[in-house]
Amino acid sequence: GAVVSQHPSRVICKSGTSVKIECRSLDFQATTMFWYRQFPKQSLMLMATSNEGSKATYEQGVEKDKFLINHASLTLSTLTVTSAHPEDSSFYICSARNPGTGDSSPLHFGNGTRLTVT
Amino acid sequence: GQNIDQPTEMTATEGAIVQINCTYQTSGFNGLFWYQQHAGEAPTFLSYNVLDGLEEKGRFSSFLSRSKGYSYLLLKELQMKDSASYLCAVYVRGGADGLTFGKGTHLIIQP
């Protein structure tokens, strides 16, 4: 079964509003979670690393004030897209690695969130 | 920098065999993953290779040659449900999430 849960799966919002996406690890505690964005027919692009108890680490070119990340507990990370614009419409996916299964264990992905900004 | 190449699209016939290639140029290589991704869904883990050679898992096999910077995913007895994108991802120790993804190969299975 799924080990990483992501909610909501789809969201449509109006331009200028904010949207919050939740990511939960179900069977393990994740001090680190990862947020990706994927545009149609493109690869997964890492946006940021969510760190429990400290600030998120953002990849180059990703606006930290626009994509707010909060890692409130060892099993929950949230991504808030603030003041969303149509160009933010994309597929957002979170992932985590079970630390108990080794350094190079696979990333487990949530089911993704399809964001459409009108 | 990191660079991963794989074909954009491939077509194969139901019941046949298909090989999807991946070449990479990375620093700090520490393994290679293959993921399957159906349209509109998140990737699911298929295989992991860290040593040279072939790893077999049911209908799917994955091969790695570190000296050549090359891997392939072999799918046997193709089924219609195998139509998906297949992502090659290199694990680089010391990276943020450790993974650099290729753009994926869109595999189309025809009856």
Interface A:B, Cβ pairs < 8 A: 50
Per residue in B1-43, pLDDT tens? Answer: 678 999 999 999 999 999 999 999 987 788 899 999 998 888 8
Phi, psi of A62 (to 5 degrees): -100, 125
Q: Report the residue count for chain B.
A: 111
Q: Is there a contact between A111 and B87 if contact means CB atoms under 8 Å apart?
A: no
- A-chain residues within 8 Å CB-CB of B31? 104
Report which residue type is found at A12. Answer: I
What's the CA gap between B32 and B100, in Å, rounded?
9
Task: Write out the two tokens for A14.
Answer: 């109006």
Whole-angstrom distance, CA of residue B78 vs CA of residue B19 = 11
CA atoms within 13 A on the CB side of A89: 11
Give kind and range of the element (H or E) at residue B106. strand B105-110
Residue A49 near residue A68 (C-beta atoms within 8 A)? no
8 A C-beta contact, residue B42 and residue A109: yes
- Mind listing the pLDDT tens digit for each residue in A58-113? 998 999 999 999 998 999 999 999 999 999 999 999 998 877 666 567 788 999 99
Asked if A9 is an interface residue toward chain B (Cβ–Cβ < 8 A), one would say no
Contact A115, A81 (CB under 8 A): yes
Show the beta-strand stretches assigned E in B38-101. Answer: 44-49, 53-57, 60-65, 70-75, 84-92, 99-101
Percent of chain A exceeding pLDDT 90 equals 65
